[in-house]
Every structure is written in structure tokens, then in C-alpha cells.
Chains A and B, each alone.
Chain A
């Protein structure tokens, strides 16, 4: 813990995600104190920006994090492959890892849905951008009308999809689908991702379809639950907006003609570092900051008790 009672945190990875997260934590640190940004590329723009803001930086990657015993929480914005390695050494050093890669070493967390269950674990994973965007609304439907089937379509601007996403697009669909089930509550989940190259770039869009188990589920209860969840997410992702819906449609499904709840979301980024259209990246860094904040609060109250 820092002298002023704040929890010291570090960012590992100085690419787009790590840099955007840096700005978000500096803007709204809550109980956290960002003390280190560690990358591996001396030429990285992210490290240069961190230095110009007066932050301590390193090109020694995880080693630099391990050398500072005061760092309690580490945001890993590197790659899935690197995180598998980092997860082990961070855990051995007693640091909590908040994993923004698809490595999924630790349990999946979506802040307003299940973070409370995982505040004491050494490693949490943020699933995918599509998962962070859509799982809250699947859960919102599920908590008032159990969901038999949830399907989501994430559409992101081509410019906001980096090489990691592009080379691992199957992992996006399978990991997101698992998240819809494990955290959203759907008995069966399916995810689709589409890259749209329009110029100017489109703002991230997500469509969520839910088929409730009960075909006569109360639309008003669903609407109310969804509105409440949108407000909860907006607290940490201000650009999270339900553009249309919940719209109650009838569709042919493998379970006969059924009610389908369709929700059409738009996520505009805060533009902290990445452009506002890249809501897909903003929701990851926003969720990471929120997860860090809650884990830090938990550490502090734990220390008091």
C-alpha cells in the first residue's frame, strides 16, 4: 500500500490497450496509484507517453513488475501467450493479475455481473470486448426470464481490430460464446464478429438476441432489468448506449416459433487515447479499470479488517 493508503498498480504492455488504460487510471484512479508502465519495446509510443506524464517506465516487461514488491495489482495488456507465462510468476510474487488478453487463466469477470464472486482470486480474465459489451444484457434478461439461447453479433470498425484479434478470430467467437453461457447465464450461447471497413469508421455496435425459456416472459420486467443494467454499465463505460430495443420479435427457432428479445447497442469510446469509434477497446480498458478499482477497495477493506 502506498503512503497515502492507495494500492500500487502497474500496467504490463505499452501498446494501444495498455496506453488507453494508463490514461483512464490517471484520469480516475480511485483507490489505485499507477506506479509503473512496463513494456519491452524501447521505441514504444506508449512508454514515451508514460514518461512524459512523469510515470516510471521500464522495457524489462514483467521483470520490472516483479522487482517492485509494493505493486499489488498488475494489468496485463500483452498477449495471451505472454500472459500464460506472466500469470505464473505474478501469482508466485503474490500480485493480482487483471488479464486483458484472451488467455483465460483466471475466471471470467464482467464487473456488474460477477466480479463480487472473484475479489479474492489471484487472476481474473476480461473475456473479450464482445463479451464485456453483451454479457451484462444477457444477464439482465436472464435474471428475470431465464435464457435458453443467447446470440450476439459484435461489429467493430476494421481500424480498431488489431493483429491479435485478426489472427485469432475463432478464439473471439468461442470465448465470447462461453462467456454468454458461464456469466450471462444462457443455456446455450453463440457469438458472431464482423469487421466493417467503412470510412469514417463506425462506432462499435453489438446486437444481442435472447430466447427466454418461458415464451410468455413479462416484457416489462425484461425492459426494467435491461434499463437498470445499462445504467450500471454506464457508470464505468459512459459511452454505453442502448440504441434500439428491447424489441420483442417472433422468430423461427429450433424450439419452434419463439419470442426473441433483440437489443441493439452502441458503444462510443471516451477517446482517452484511442479514437471514440473504438468502443470495443474502450470497454475493455474501462472494465479493467473498474475491476482494478474494486479489487483495490477489497484489499483496503481487507487490510482494515
Chain B
């Protein structure tokens, strides 16, 4: 095993927990702390990627392009990554992100739909960016399908392809099998992105590493969608104990989590009732807060909504189905009552 490259996504995946309300000051403080602790890549974008600011996902308080610019101006060593989900963001926003200082493009599709990302990888490469592909909701397909899709991304110009456990639904041996399949199929690097809905984020990162992962994601305090991600400071401590520290300052990351991020966090994501439901039902982690809000408004238990979304096989980005399911449940209940 070799030390992985760690990308911190507090300022992207954490955007969900912050309901997309990061301020310039918060971005400056988090980037400065991560940069000082030796994190090489910091992802800064709306939680649903460039142009994610919407009714569907929640509006950004400050445009993520402005936050990218702020992050790029703050970082001394770290490079700034942006997320782009084709179907939501377009090449237009990617160009703009590069103008504002982003040098790494992370391009995400549902794990069966890699072929919608060709034009975006093409542009990212043309713009001289490092490119990372994300196969989202990876628990929905077996390793051989993930490997086929990863090969498409490689052919479009991905420098690395991630197994992305967007639902936090994978068990360690499933994470390992998926990573191994990509490792065997690809010439480029392989990564793993965890969610902690079943309390397995760190365990899955280690399983992925053992299976050959070159890159891992973390967020301070695990601040991300659902029960959050693998906590960057925990990941650093674990990697260091394993003799695989890629050059991270473990104490500085603990301090960044405790003294910089924690005081700004609206709440601590954890595998609570609704978040475990997401991992258990295999729903998209970002559904959590939307299901809670709509559930509360319409008097429906969020768990019922999340389980039904899993049953309907809702995929990444289908937040509109939360309202649809909730209204269906309201109608069913009224029919039973009458």
C-alpha cells in the first residue's frame, strides 16, 4: 500500500449540511487551515456542483464561483477543485471556474451514465485541468459495470476515476471489490469517496486503500451530505498510524476541525435515524435535509419518504421526487382515512 492523495471536500460536500450558505469569510478560514495542514486539493463548489444553485437543490448564499475565487486567492500550496455534474452544470460554468482559479475538475455522473461526460472531460483537458471522474451511487451496480463506465471516463481524459458511495450504502468488502475492479481495468488512478450513513466511512476508505485506491476524500468533522463523509482529521490520524501518511499534519487537521469548522457548523452530521435510513435504503445522501423539511411541512415521517425513494430507485440529483413521494403518501393516507 502507498499513501493516498487526500482531497478535502468540506467546502463542497459540506455545502449540503450548510444548506449552501458558506460565506467568503468561512471559505477563507477553512482553506487557510487545510492548506496549512498540508491538504493538497480542496474542493469548493455548491454541493450539487457548478450551477447547482436552484430551487431543486437550494440556492447558494454566495455564488460558488465567487467562493472558488476566494479559495484560490487564499491557498498558498493547495489546488482548488470544482465539481461539475453534467445535466446540472455546463462547460460554460467550468470555463468560468478556471478563470476564477480552479485547476482540478471533478466530473460526476450516475454510475451508469458516464457517456454524458465526454464533452466536459474534453473541455477540462483543453483548459489544462487535472480531471477526476465520479461514478455516483456506485452501490447500485456490480464492480464489472463500474469498471466499464470508468473505462469510458478514462477514454474521455480522466486522470483518476472514483468509486463514489453517494448513498453511504456500501460495506467494506463491496467498496474493496469496486475499487479492485477499477484498479484492474484502468491505467489511470482510482479513488474512493465515502459517506458515513452506516458508520463505515473510515472503514470503507481503508478497504479501498487496501484494494489499490490512489485517492481518498475527506471533510473536516465529516461535514457532508447525509451522515457526512470520512472525517479528514480522522483519516489523517488513521493513515499516519498505518504508516501511510501522505504528508498531512494530523494535529493541525484536528485543530482545523475543532476550532475552525466546528464553531461554524449548523449541526454535526452523524448516522442518526434518518441518515442510517439513507444508507440502509440506498438513497442519495443529499436527500436528508430536503426529506426532513418536506416531511415536517406535510406531516410525513422522513424515514417513510427515504425508504420509498430507495424503492423507486431514485438516483443522484432527484430531489424533486421527495415532494412527489411525500404528496403521494399524503394522498394515500387521506384515502385510508376516508
Which A residues fall within an 8 A CB radius of B?
A: 149, 151, 153, 155, 158, 163, 166-170, 172-174, 190, 192-198, 202, 205, 207, 209, 211, 243-245, 247, 249, 251-254, 260, 262, 264
Contacts and interface: CB of A to CB of B under 8 A. Distances in A.
Given A195-B315, A252-B59, 20 more contacts: A158-B112, A166-B113, A167-B116, A169-B116, A170-B86, A170-B92, A170-B120, A173-B87, A190-B51, A190-B54, A192-B88, A194-B87, A194-B110, A194-B315, A196-B314, A197-B113, A205-B320, A207-B324, A209-B56, A264-B320
B315 A192 contact: no
A263 B140 CA distance: 29
B116 A195 contact: yes
Contact of A155 (B54, B55, B318): B318
Contacts of B112: 158, 195, 197
Contact of A168 (B119, B315, B324, B327): B119
A193 B87 contact: yes
Contacts, number: 105
A254 B59 contact: yes
A120 B317 CA distance: 41
A244 B328 CA distance: 8
B113 A245 contact: no
A251 B323 contact: no
Contact of A245 (B58, B110, B140, B327): B327
B86 A249 contact: no
A207 B326 CA distance: 14
Contacts of A190: 51, 54
B297 to A, nearest CB: 7
A253 B59 contact: yes
Contacts of A195: 87, 110, 112-113, 116, 315
B315 A264 contact: no
Contacts of B323: 207, 244, 247, 249, 262, 264
Interface string B292-331: 0000010000000000000011111110110110011000
B268 interface: no
B28 interface: no
Interface in B233-251: none
A188 to B, nearest CB: 11
Given A158-B113, A170-B90, A264-B324, A194 B318 contact: yes
Contacts of A170: 86, 90-92, 119-120
Contact of A197 (B55, B56, B90, B315): B315
Contacts of B113: 158, 166, 195, 197
B297 A249 contact: yes
Given A158-B112, A194-B315, A264-B324, A173 B58 contact: no
B159 interface: no
B115 interface: yes
Interface string B51-95: 100111011000000000000000000000000001110111000
Which of B113, B120, B140, B312 has the largest number of chain A CB atoms within 10 A?
A: B113
A174 B90 contact: yes
Q: Interface extent on B, as a size class? A: 35 or more
In the complex, the 8 A-B pairs of residues with the closest C-beta atoms, listed nearest first: A207-B320, A198-B313, A170-B90, A197-B112, A244-B327, A209-B55, A193-B87, A169-B116
A168 B318 CA distance: 21
B contacts with A: majority SS: mixed
B174 interface: no
Contact of B318 (A167, A173, A196): A196
B56 A153 contact: yes
A90 to B, nearest CB: 29
B318 A166 contact: no
Nearest to B55: A209
A158 B113 CA distance: 8
B264 to A, nearest CB: 19
B73 to A, nearest CB: 24
Contacts of B140: 197
Interface string B182-201: 00000000000000000000
B130 interface: no
Contacts of B87: 169, 172-173, 192-195
A78 B113 CA distance: 23
A192 B328 CA distance: 23
A262 B326 CA distance: 13
Contact of A153 (B58, B116, B320, B328): B320
Contacts of B55: 149, 151, 209, 211, 251, 253, 260
10 contacts: A155-B321, A158-B113, A173-B88, A190-B54, A197-B112, A197-B113, A205-B321, A205-B324, A245-B327, A252-B58
Which of B90, B116, B120 has the largest number of chain A CB atoms within 10 A?
A: B116
B317 to A, nearest CB: 5
Nearest to A209: B55
Contacts of A174: 90, 92
